[in-house]
Structure 1
Amino acid sequence: MGSLSALPNVGSVLEGLLVQAGITTPEELRAVGAKEAFVRVKLIDPTACIRMLYGIQGAVDGVKDVSLSESTKQELKAFFRSL
């Protein structure tokens, strides 16, 4: 078990939103996955944007959001638009 803020891209704001969404550990975040975690966050914060989705995916993958592949970003964009 560890702190969500130890993951890449997770600052205090995102950590707080994830905790409010019922995700309190990196293990829980990985188990839930970025898309489901983002949906939960978006229910709490309707202003959550695509950059936050990228950040969550990066946290799940253990990389900075700028390091996500173009194919991953395209998949996430399509998902975001479908919401």
Structure 2
Amino acid sequence: MSDAPIETLPGIGPVTQGWLSEVGICTEGELRSIGAVEAYRRLKFMLPRRVNLNALYALEAALRGCHWLDLPQDVKTALQDQAKVIDEALRRGAAARCAIP
């Protein structure tokens, strides 16, 4: 597991690095250990209006060492499917907290 700071990965700028730090992901190894989808889930639940699909693409691309625009279409499609599941869980969670018993 790499102890390299998360911002050494390509495409991880200061804003994303700050967000990742807030959810406990500070090193490349920590991101690799949980994966892009789980990191995105944590960010989305923390900042639902600021974190979008491009963040998920950027996280996956950083782990692959490429620019997010260079991700293969099948990878983007799989990530879109995962993002939909996370977005739905976020919506259900908010509805459940606001429901009248």
Same fold (TM over 0.5): yes
Per-residue deviation, 1:4: 1.1
Tell me what 1:52 maps to.
Answer: 55
**1:59 alignment partner, SS class:** helix
- Unaligned regions of 5+ residues in structure 2, if any? 87-101
Please, what TM-score do these two structures have when normalized by structure 1? 0.94
Residues 30-75 of structure 1, C-alpha deviations (whole Å, 9 max, x = no match): 1110000001111211121000100011111121111110000000
Matches within 5 A, 1:3-82: 3-47=5-49, 48-82=51-85
Following superposition, which runs of at least 4 residues in structure 1 exceed 3 angstroms of deviation? Answer: none
Please, what TM-score do these two structures have when normalized by structure 2? 0.78
- Unaligned regions of 5+ residues in structure 1, if any? none
Task: Give the aligned CA root-mean-square deviation in angstroms.
Answer: 0.9
Percent of paired sites with the same residue: 31
